[in-house]
Amino acid sequence: MKNNKQDYIYVVLVKALTGLGKFARKFSKYEYTHIAVSLNEELNDFITFSRKKHYSPFDSGFMNETMDCYTFGKNESVKLKVFKVPVTSKNKEEIIKYIKRIENDKDYIFNLYSMATMKLFHGFRIYKSLNCMSFVSKIIELSGIPMNKKYYKYNIKELDKLLSDYKYEEKLFNKTKIENKNYMDRVGILKNTAMFIKLNGKLLYRLLFKRRAMKKEEKH
């Protein structure tokens, strides 16, 4: 009976205030440009794949974001859309296990290519690489929500529609304190360029030479 107990996870859509987020809104005509998951109702830990610091978009990967990552600088509030998704205890255990596996595997990198070409190719996998959409989509799949296509093929707008029955709240959330103290550290153009080249090198290598390993990874 323990494994059938009702529990919840919280899927959070973010109206990102970054320059990239503002550009994406103009391009897509859709409000939300980032997605994360929280395991508690307090919404004090947003688990996702994202940039590690505000000024280093190519140094990205598994992240535990806090509200000040979204309300950076002079921004005092950010608009979030929150879905309260019911899960069994067994499903939540699987979700936590998946999150811990990804968090502890330092080989995982940010799937920039799938994100950048989502509108054109509708998502594709690269060995041990995720972005915010594919990471959260996999968690939604583990929650037991029926999905009519592969998890990595969902964009944020489609996940918004998929979870419409579980809408919990949609409003401005205020920054209360600075928790991620190094998030706003400046990163120079040379370092950013080096990180961009490094990320592209890894993605291209895995795209070309890790297809068999990717199929094996999917079974776990």
Residue 89 CA, distance from chain mean position? 23
Name, in order, each residue with C-beta under 8 angstroms of 109's C-beta and a sequence gap of 6 or more.
60, 61, 128, 129, 199, 202, 203
Residue 151 dihedral angles phi and psi, to the nearest 5°: -55, -35
**pLDDT above 90: percentage of residues in the chain:** 82
Per-residue pLDDT of 69-115, as tens digits, reads 999 988 999 999 999 999 999 999 999 999 999 999 999 999 999 99
Per-residue pLDDT of 138-192, as tens digits, reads 999 999 999 999 999 999 999 999 999 999 999 999 988 888 889 999 999 999 9
- pLDDT band at residue 1 using 50, 70 and 90 as cut-offs: very low
- pTM, to two decimals: 0.94
Question: Which letter does DSSP use for residue 154 in this model?
Answer: -
Q: Look up residue 216 and give its two tokens.
A: 């094996």
Per-residue pLDDT of 135-145, as tens digits, reads 999 999 999 99
Q: What residue spans define the domains of the chain?
A: 2-99+132-186
Total residue length of the chain: 220
d(CA 82, CA 178): 22
